[in-house]
Amino acid sequence: MAKIKTVYVCQNCGVQSAKWVGKCNSCNEWNTYVEEQVGPPEKELTNWREKDSKSPTSKPIRLNEIENNSEKRIVTYDKELNRVLGGGIVYGSLVLIGGEPGIGKSTLMLQLALSSKRLKVLYVSGEESQQQIKMRAQRIGQSSDNCFILAETSTQHIFTQIREIQPDILVIDSIQTLHTPRIESAAGSVSQVRECTAELLKFAKESNTPVFLVGHITKEGSLAGPKVLEHMVDTVLQFEGDRHLAYRILRTVKNRFGSTSELGIYEMQSTGLREVSNPSEILISQREADSPGVAIGASIEGNRPLLIEIQSLVSTASYGTPQRSSTGFDAKRLNMLLAVLEKRGGFRLSSQDVFLNVAGGIKIEEPAIDLAVCASLVSGLHDAPISDKTAFAAEVGLGGEVRAVNRIDNRISEAEKLGFTEIFISKYNMKGLDPKKYEIKIRPFSRLTDVFEELLG
Ligand code: TYD
Ligand code: MG
């Protein structure tokens, strides 16, 4: 009998070591090594095909002769999902969906299965029984003749059913519950997750079937199991949001077939997830007309313009060092903008506690909302509300200059569509822009000081 080998595997990053160590040399985490047994290396991956059928060996072909399949995608009924996937599901792709427990991953996948009525979907659950899934489907209020539910965790058995059913789409909920008989260690361990993913990857590529993997997330917020999982799959989507609020954001973290800055927004209702096709409305709707410290920035996430509300609270620091806290906006950039306002605008912010928040739980990384952040801070400092019909779209430079941003026309149109009457932009964005085209008043500025002269009078 082949000797069973054991190795110690870091459960955080997947690095192996021959002996146990307290601190991982690779990711510097403590106490993450767990002993795992590995099967004899010469044994092949559990093949999704019949036992004796040999998988075809691949041959090199000329690049020009390779069929271009990129345009062939499965366009689902879920527009938000299509968007984050880059225009639909790519055949043979492996998509990982991560998110905290209870955020709605299983619901999203079941809705996909139920709405794709013409496609055979095999939904494999290692977490819930068939009855539980039936109850969920009843709650969502949809049903499909082509949706097959399998409660199973062994990859070998799953592949037997796959050969039987021949699904068009496979959903695995979740990858951490699967185990392959090839490896001795417990389900959810790094080696198991890696091997099971490898088997599913092989299946996806050889059969050209798209596979969705649901993945758990650790307390720190990264995908549980190893980084290796992220490397193996084609697309990583992250499902985010506060469990206590209804809004959920599906974000593309990695995508071999599209842009990574896409965002899908859903609302969790009592009958499942509803797509939110006009997010700006929900992100800025809950606002009193004259609250100080609030400014609206015209941002673009992926291909979609988003008007977002920046709120700030500025109050005199009661302790020596003032506090700076920011939610949804880069803290370093906030500090930079505070320094610019202090130095170039003469605003006394260094003795103030500053709390900045992007409403709706959204994270914004683009500098185009700098001007909105500055406006919000100054409005908060002076307790001077900004009109709720004013939007901002410009970057702020270290010299206190108002800089141009990309795709200004999209931002202006979105602000106009949502009923804003004026938008502050950079003078340098005026080139090639026809203000007569818009009903909204376009206010060009080149210096931050001029903006505040205008706002504060
Ligand atoms: P679920 O999809 O089970 O989350 P995950 O798979 O990410 O752990 O979602 C569970 C939550 O969603 C649960 O708290 C109940 C809620 N929910 C609704 O509010 N409405 C619904 O129609 C459904 C199906 C779930
Ligand atoms: Mg679930």
CA nearest neighbour of 302 among 358, 234, 215, 362: 362
Q: Which atom of ligand 1 is nearest to the CA of 243?
A: 14
Q: Are residues 268 and 360 in the same domain?
A: no
270 alpha carbon – ligand 1 mean position (Å):
9
Q: Kind and range of the H or E element at 200?
A: helix 190-207
Q: Are residues 258 and 109 in the same domain?
A: yes
Ligand 1 close to Cβ of residue 99 (< 6 A): yes
pLDDT exceeds cutoff 60 at 98: yes
140 alpha carbon – ligand 2 mean position (Å):
15
Mean pLDDT for 191-202 is: 90
224 alpha carbon – ligand 1 mean position (Å):
20
Confidence grade of residue 363 (pLDDT, cut at 50, 70, 90):
confident
Q: Are residues 273 and 342 in the same domain?
A: no
Question: Which pair of tokens denotes residue 177?
Answer: 């519950």
Question: Which pair of tokens denotes residue 206?
Answer: 């050889």
Q: Are residues 307 and 447 in the same domain?
A: yes
Strand partners for 181? none
Ligand 1 close to Cβ of residue 138 (< 6 A): no
> Is 55 inside a domain boundary?
no
Mean pLDDT for 227-234 is: 84
308 and 373 Cβ atoms separated by less than 8 Å: no
Ligand 1 close to Cβ of residue 215 (< 6 A): no
Look at residues 224, 249, 277 and tell me which one is the last residue of a structural domain: 277
Question: Which pair of tokens denotes residue 222?
Answer: 């990264």
CA nearest neighbour of 409 among 298, 253, 279: 298
pLDDT at position 231 is 86
Query: How would you label 40-74 residue by residue, b for 16+ Cβ within 10 Å and e otherwise?
Result: eeeeebbbbbeeeeeeeeeeeeeeeeeeeeeeebb
Ligand 1 close to Cβ of residue 270 (< 6 A): yes
Distance separating alpha carbons of residues 159 and 50, to the nearest angstrom: 9
pLDDT at position 412 is 94
Residue nearest to atom 12 of ligand 1 (CA): 104
Question: Which pair of tokens denotes residue 340?
Answer: 């610019």
Residue nearest to atom 11 of ligand 1 (CA): 102
Q: Which atom of ligand 1 is nearest to the CA of 100?
A: 7
Ligand 1 close to Cβ of residue 271 (< 6 A): yes
Ligand 1 close to Cβ of residue 101 (< 6 A): yes
109 alpha carbon – ligand 2 mean position (Å):
9
Distance separating alpha carbons of residues 97 and 92, to the nearest angstrom: 16
Q: Are residues 409 and 396 in the same domain?
A: yes
Ligand 1 close to Cβ of residue 139 (< 6 A): yes
456 and 412 Cβ atoms separated by less than 8 Å: no
Residue nearest to atom 15 of ligand 1 (CA): 102
DSSP state of 179: B
CATH code, domain with 361:
3.30.230.10
The amino acid occupying position 265 is I
Q: Are residues 31 and 92 in the same domain?
A: no
Mean pLDDT for 377-403 is: 94
> Is 57 inside a domain boundary?
no
pLDDT at position 42 is 46
Strand partners for 247? 267
Look at residues 277, 292, 313 and tell me which one is the last residue of a structural domain: 277
Ligand 1 close to Cβ of residue 104 (< 6 A): yes
pLDDT exceeds cutoff 90 at 234: yes
Q: Between residues 409 and 5, which one has the greater pLDDT? A: 409
Ligand 1 close to Cβ of residue 302 (< 6 A): no
**Strands of 332-420, DSSP E:** 352-358, 390-393, 395-396, 402-403
Mean pLDDT for 78-107 is: 92
Mean pLDDT for 90-96 is: 94
CA nearest neighbour of 304 among 250, 263, 275: 263
> Is 207 inside a domain boundary?
yes
Ligand 1 close to Cβ of residue 106 (< 6 A): yes
Distance separating alpha carbons of residues 106 and 369, to the nearest angstrom: 34
Q: Are residues 11 and 88 in the same domain?
A: no
- Site to substitute for ligand 1 among 97, 105, 107, most atoms within 8 A of C-beta: 107
> Is 321 inside a domain boundary?
yes
CA nearest neighbour of 241 among 265, 218, 224, 225: 265
Ligand 1 close to Cβ of residue 125 (< 6 A): no
In terms of residue numbers, what domain contains 226? 74-277
pLDDT exceeds cutoff 60 at 1: no
> Is 359 inside a domain boundary?
yes
> Is 48 inside a domain boundary?
no
Q: How many domains does the chain contain in total?
A: 3
CA nearest neighbour of 274 among 417, 141, 85: 141
Distance separating alpha carbons of residues 426 and 446, to the nearest angstrom: 6
Mean pLDDT for 311-321 is: 88
389 alpha carbon – ligand 1 mean position (Å):
37
Q: Which atom of ligand 1 is nearest to the CA of 127?
A: 6
Question: Which pair of tokens denotes residue 228?
Answer: 């290796």
> Is 156 inside a domain boundary?
yes
Distance separating alpha carbons of residues 8 and 145, to the nearest angstrom: 46
2 and 15 Cβ atoms separated by less than 8 Å: no
pLDDT exceeds cutoff 80 at 352: yes
231 alpha carbon – ligand 2 mean position (Å):
23
The amino acid occupying position 187 is A
Residue nearest to atom 23 of ligand 1 (CA): 272
Q: Are residues 238 and 352 in the same domain?
A: no
Lowest mean pLDDT among 21-30, 186-195, 224-233, 400-409: 224-233
Q: Kind and range of the H or E element at 139?
A: helix 130-140
pLDDT at position 204 is 94
Ligand 1 close to Cβ of residue 405 (< 6 A): no
Q: What is the CA radius of gyration of the chain?
A: 26
Q: Spell out the residues 6+ positions from residue 251 whose beta carbon is closer than 8 angstroms to its own.
A: 84, 237, 238, 239, 240, 262, 263, 264
Q: Are residues 134 and 189 in the same domain?
A: yes
Task: For tokens 């200004």, name the residue.
Answer: 408
Residue nearest to atom 21 of ligand 1 (CA): 272
- HSE (side-chain half, CA atoms, 13 Å) at 138: 6
Distance separating alpha carbons of residues 365 and 214, to the nearest angstrom: 26
Asked if omega into 174 is within 30° of 0 (cis), the reply is yes
Q: Are residues 412 and 264 in the same domain?
A: no
pLDDT exceeds cutoff 80 at 392: yes
Question: Which pair of tokens denotes residue 404?
Answer: 């141009």
pLDDT in tens, 127-183: 999 999 999 999 999 888 999 999 999 999 999 999 999 999 999 998 999 999 888
Residue 433 DSSP SS3? coil
CATH code, domain with 88:
3.40.50.300
Q: Are residues 260 and 159 in the same domain?
A: yes
Distance separating alpha carbons of residues 35 and 16, to the nearest angstrom: 10
pLDDT in tens, 23-56: 988 888 888 888 877 655 545 666 777 655 555 6
Residues of the binding site for ATP: 99-106
Ligand 1 close to Cβ of residue 122 (< 6 A): no
440 alpha carbon – ligand 2 mean position (Å):
45
Look at residues 277, 308, 337 and tell me which one is the last residue of a structural domain: 277
Strand partners for 356? 312, 326
106 alpha carbon – ligand 2 mean position (Å):
4
Q: Which atom of ligand 1 is nearest to the CA of 107?
A: 2
Q: Are residues 273 and 287 in the same domain?
A: no
Q: Spell out the residues 6+ positions from residue 450 whose beta carbon is closer than 8 angstroms to its own.
A: none
pLDDT in tens, 253-295: 899 988 887 888 898 899 999 998 877 767 776 667 778 999 9
Question: Which pair of tokens denotes residue 95?
Answer: 């998509």
> Is 158 inside a domain boundary?
yes
pLDDT exceeds cutoff 50 at 413: yes
